[in-house]
Structures are given as structure tokens and as C-alpha cells.
Structure 1
């Protein structure tokens, strides 16, 4: 039996995946977990659903009622049911975890509701889509994606094993929860990339005695996750020193942020120290994935699946313009530190991406376009971002902002 009062919600479109849904619910019960089933079918069926929560009940949670779901248009029905399910799940007070089963449509139906749940609530999605790009399904959440191997269409020797493993995975997470550690330390968000690791590790070491340092990998989703926590009031400050996701967003890389990057800084007004960590590179996958228009550019082959492209002076000016527009909307305390000795481990004297011309295009444009005030400041430092002196300066600036806020 579960240690907390509540249920694991097992979810699927039971009109096509009913056998799989009830197989998973049986596995959960045998593992000792309490479970309820949810049917998200969007097509009318003659027989009443056997799920604990039938599709008509879920559809009633749509702002326009069930007719918005059962509209006869498959695409609109999926979008409407996804919204209805998100609203339904958000109101459940007895939810301990969620496991979903689906193909492309089922995954699109279920994961938006999972994304809206708090970090730490167990979420498992068994999907035919899990072997490809799952960023749209996972977002900034902690959803565990499990590739179904065979289609989620009937029970066989493969699907039973995969579905059973997934059921036991979420049962284990619910039955044996991680004990929460209470901490009165303020929480800080820090962004890091491989080429800015020495900087962030040094900053964390200097601050960890007084702060709970949460480091986010600047892979697009990392920045989104950090800003989601900031918007939720769960962070007391940011050291957003690795802003490389902007490169990929503007120039077609694979680790991109979106148009909302840095909006959480403006919304929350928490103290923030920023920098231009890894703005010297755009990220692609295997060399064969690099767009043809970039064929004559300077590349660094980080590993078999990661290819880095050096940004040009023109691209640096464009990034500075985009970032400056964001900074000018911020009314809280912000210090933007510029490491004149290079933006990453590859952008240092003697290294492949060292380009004072490109860096100066960023620096000059940023200084020209940011409207500096007593609370919005740009500072140049004669160091590479990974020099210990830069880390010390970042910590010093943040402490001054934090003390000003207290």
C-alpha cells in the first residue's frame, strides 16, 4: 500500500488502448500501489468506458464543455481534450503520480497536463515517440519518457515487458518517495555549459555555505526549467552566466531557448548577475546535421553527436541587440558581466574560437543598446569567463545585490 493517501493516475485513450491501460493498472495494484484509470478517448463509443474517469467526465472540464471535445474534428478534439485533462488533473488533491500510454496523439494529449504538475511528482510517459526529439513533450518538467519499442497497440511479449517495467518504475517512485530535506538556505539558479563548467563550479563553491545552488544545464530545456522555478517564486536569485541558448534560438541550433528567455528576470525582479557564457558557439548534432548555409564556417567537433560553430561578429551584434531588448524591460537589480578574455573555454587566447573581433561586436552593441541605470549595470572584466577572478567578481556582485534586497 502507498504510504501517502492518494492514487497513481493511469491514463490513455481507452477506445484504442484499453487493454494496455488496464494491464498497467493491474501491474500497479500487484506492486502495492493504489491506482485509478482515466480515459481520454475523443471519439464517441457505443459502450460506456470501463475507466474510473470516463472521457465524458474529463471533457466536461473544458471551459466550453464536452462539445468542444466531441466536435468531430480529430485535431481540434485532441487539443480540446488536452486542455480539459490539464484542468482536471490540476484540481486533483489525491494525485501521487501519473503514468500515460500513447502514440503521437496520446502523448500530445497527456504530457501538457504532466508538465503543469510540480517538479518531483512522479510522471512516466510510455510513448512511441520517445526515441526521437521529446523536448516538446517534456518541456521544463521532469517527465520520464519510456520508448514503447512496439506500437502501443495490443499486448505481446514485448509490450507486456515494457509496460510492466514502466508501471513498476512509477510504483517505486510513489511507494518509496525521496525524503524531503528542509533547508532554510535561499535557493539560487545558475546556468552552466561544459565550456563554462570551471566558472560555475567555482561560483557554487563560494556560495554553497549560504545558498542552495541549483545548477541548470543550458540546453534550452535547462533555461526554461530555471525560469519556470523563478516565475513560481522558488528561486531567490539568479547567476545566469551561461546564456548560450540565445545563439541556438537565433541561428537554428539544437539547444535553443524560446522567445520568453529572460522574461522571468523581468517578472520576478529577483537579483540577477548575468553574462555571455558560451555565446561564441551555436550547437548542432552530428556534422551531417549542420545546415548547408553554414558549410564554410569554423567548427569544433565536441563529440560524435555535438558539433559547435563559432559565431561571427554579425551574429554577436544580433545577439547583443536581442539580449539588450530583454534587459531594458527589467526593473529589478541586474549586473551583466562581460569577460573580455573570452566567453568560454574555447574562446580564450590560443584556443580555436578565440576572436576578439566577434566578442567586441557583442560588447559594443550591448553597451550601446542597454539603457543603464543604477539597477541595470554592465561591467567589463579583463578575464576569461573560466578564470577564478571572474567567478570571484560574479559572487561579489551577487552578494551586493542580495544584501541590497534584504
Structure 2
């Protein structure tokens, strides 16, 4: 461990002071550099133990510390979370981060953890770790440890849990091996069951030259891929399956969020996009489908997954949304539209075959998408799972990576 590498131990010292000091002492005993960061919104008896005071963190808020210390508790927590994220992103010596918190502290600390690159050890010891933790983890590699008892002092249980937490983060830092030089650059690909034929064909042909990371387009999959792009861990993106946009706009259960394609804009990673599975919205069992969609065309994928065919109007909205997002990208972007169908169901004779709906997407996308030297649109008469389309994708990707 280099001298400049630091473990950031983060908590609200007004309620977790004794526990934080206990863990810091364990880490120091292992000759590790540890900075105790206080993110309390109130003054307290343990503030003199902090290496980084809550006031220092609060000053990273765009409106200054007054936005935190002069607000009610709810608003103060939201503001401190923003300040701590800005603070953490400004540090250049983060070897690992360990957080301690209840519901408020976990909500305060984990957004900043999510901002760190994949691979930086992140451990959140929390009373909230026994329930749905997806909101705390996002698309990052945060590890959650259930505190068992409330984090409210040192006792026979908390001593064991906190010691394990200290050993966990210490081991992650001490035994982190230098990554071997990777001969093959990593690329991200998005896939759904109905685009598997295409993506498997592409990966098979690119495998010798690229480390192909395939992400299931289930909302979290797209977020994970873009998290890696934001972390500059991908050298290229083959976003064949953009179906998460359908669910985002039309109440589906496998939705992306408003930041879909944001990482492509920020990182300027070479990007190939397409219309994979934009012909469907995903719902759970039939009884979960919103009433307003009851008269639509459905396909039962399995007892727990029901697919709804998108309409021409919905396709126009998706085309506008995606094209507007991609227009903000200044890196190399190529969007390829397979006019012969967007999925295994959207094929002549298939359950979702609808040339009218697809044409609505194509016309709107072509109208909105601003082509430049770096931003290109290609329309081809092939189906998305056809060999011809796959060969074209590979050829365009090869060109865009040169």
C-alpha cells in the first residue's frame, strides 16, 4: 500500500462516534492510513476525533455549509449527501471507503460510493442491508454488511460485526494485486433474449481481439455497462439492445433511468447503437399490467414476464428520446437501424411483426438525429438477428475503433 493511499471511514459521529473510533483503531493497528470523515449535521462530543470535519465536507455543497446546518433534518441529509459526493470525488488518494450508518447514514453515504470507479473497495455496514438494497448499490460494486443490531455502541454483537468490517476493508486494500496488463481491450455489449442470436454472433467474431462484456438489458444491466464507461474501463460499446428505453417511457419493469446514454456523452467512448427489442415493453405477470394497456397486443414470454408490442406513436417517442440523447455525444457514434425487424418476435410472421410501427421509429429518428463527421446513421434492410446485420455491425465497429 502506497503512503498516499487512504481508507476513508465515513459516518455521522453524532450517533456513531464510538463505533467509528473502534474501527479506526483496528485499521491503524494494521499500519493502514485511515481518515475518519464526519458527515453529521449536528454538533456532538466526538467531533474532535474526525480527521475531516463535517464543516469541511459541508463546504463542498454548491450553496456552502449553510445549506446543511441551517436546514431541517430531512433537507440537511439530502444536502450533506450532495456535499459528501463532491468531497469524495475531489480526493485523489482513495484506496477504499467504509461507511457506517442506519437508514439516514446509508442514504447519505452510498451515493458518493457509487461515484467511485468499479474496483475501488466499498463497504457499507448498515441496518438497512437485510432488505431491498438496490437503491443503495445502483450499478456499482458496493458490498453491504448487515449490522445485526443497531449501530448504537460497542457490545458483544457489534464488536464482532465491526471487527469483521475492519478486516474486510483492510484485506481488500492489503491484498489488492497489481492488475496484469490486459492484452485485449474491454468492450460492452447489451443483449436480451430476443437479440441473443445477434450478440452471440458478434461476440464470437470479436472475441479474439476484444474482451467482450455482455450486459442483460434489464435496467440494471444498462446502468452497469454505463458505469464502466464512466469509469473508463470500456474501450468501446456495442449497444445493440436499447429496449430499456421502452420500459422507462411506458411503465415497464426493466427500465433504464433518465441518464441512459449519459455515460456515452461524458466518456466519449466509441459507440455503436441499434434498436434491439424496441418493439416491446416488459411487464411481470398479466395481473400486474396497468389498466390503460389492457387492450394491447401481448406475448407471454413466461408466467412471470409478459411482453407488450409498442405502437407507432410510442416508437416515435422512443426515437425522439434516443436521438436527442445521442445528439449530445461528441465522440464517435454510429446508430444502425435494421429495417427488417428489431427482435426475434418482430419478424415477418412473428407475433410482433409491425412494419408500420418500425417505420414510425425510423422516420422520427432520421428527422431528429443530427449527423456529423462523428455521428452517423445507417439504415439496412436486414433483420437484427441476420448474419448480414451482424457482419455490418462488426465492420462498422472495426472502423469506429481505428
TM-score (norm 2): 0.82
CA distance in structure 1 between the partners assigned to 2:325 and 2:353 by the alignment? 27
1:101 matched to 2:104? The reply is no
Q: Is the 8 A contact 2:339 2:379 kept in 1?
A: no
1:13 matched to 2:19? The reply is no
Structure-to-structure mapping, 1:187-202, within 5 angstroms = 187-202=186-201
Q: Which residue of 2 aligns with 1:273?
A: 272
CA distance in structure 2 between the partners assigned to 1:341 and 1:63 by the alignment? 50
Q: Residues 31-90 of structure 1, C-alpha deviation per residue, up to 9 Å, x if partnerless?
A: 886544333221122564434444344335445554443225213322332233234333
Q: Is the 8 A contact 2:13 2:46 kept in 1?
A: no
CA distance in structure 1 between the partners assigned to 2:286 and 2:227 by the alignment? 32
Distance 1:294 1:44, change over 3 A: same
Structure-to-structure mapping, 1:230-309, within 5 angstroms = 230=229, 234-266=233-265, 270-285=269-284, 289-300=288-299, 302=301, 306-309=305-308
- The CA deviation at 1:247 is 0.8
Q: Residues 352-399 of structure 1, C-alpha deviation per residue, up to 9 Å, x if partnerless?
A: 44444433432343345445567522222322x233332222101222
- The CA deviation at 1:219 is 3.2
SS of the residue 1:69 aligns to = helix
- The CA deviation at 1:14 is 2.4
Name structure 1 gaps, 5 residues minimum. none
- Worse overlay, 219-228 or 37-46: 219-228
Q: Is the 8 A contact 2:239 2:272 kept in 1?
A: yes
Q: Which residue of 1 aligns with 2:120?
A: 121
- The CA deviation at 1:268 is 5.3
Q: What is the alpha-carbon root mean square deviation over aligned residues? A: 3.5
CA distance in structure 1 between the partners assigned to 2:282 and 2:357 by the alignment? 17
CA distance in structure 2 between the partners assigned to 1:224 and 1:47 by the alignment? 38
Structure-to-structure mapping, 1:1-400, within 5 angstroms = 3-5=1-3, 6-25=5-24, 35-46=34-45, 48-62=47-61, 65-130=64-129, 134-148=133-147, 150-154=149-153, 163-183=162-182, 185-230=184-229, 234-266=233-265, 270-285=269-284, 289-300=288-299, 302=301, 306-330=305-329, 333-348=332-347, 351-371=350-370, 375-383=375-383, 385-400=384-399
CA distance in structure 2 between the partners assigned to 1:167 and 1:125 by the alignment? 11
- Worse overlay, 10-19 or 347-356: 347-356
TM-score (norm 1): 0.82
Q: Is the 8 A contact 1:231 1:268 kept in 2?
A: yes
CA distance in structure 2 between the partners assigned to 1:99 and 1:220 by the alignment? 27
Distance 1:388 1:151, change over 3 A: farther
- The CA deviation at 1:260 is 3.5
CA distance in structure 2 between the partners assigned to 1:139 and 1:301 by the alignment? 29
SS of the residue 1:338 aligns to = strand
SS of the residue 1:107 aligns to = helix
Distance 1:44 1:303, change over 3 A: farther
SS of the residue 1:397 aligns to = helix
- The CA deviation at 1:312 is 2.6
CA distance in structure 1 between the partners assigned to 2:332 and 2:95 by the alignment? 38
Distance 1:369 1:47, change over 3 A: closer
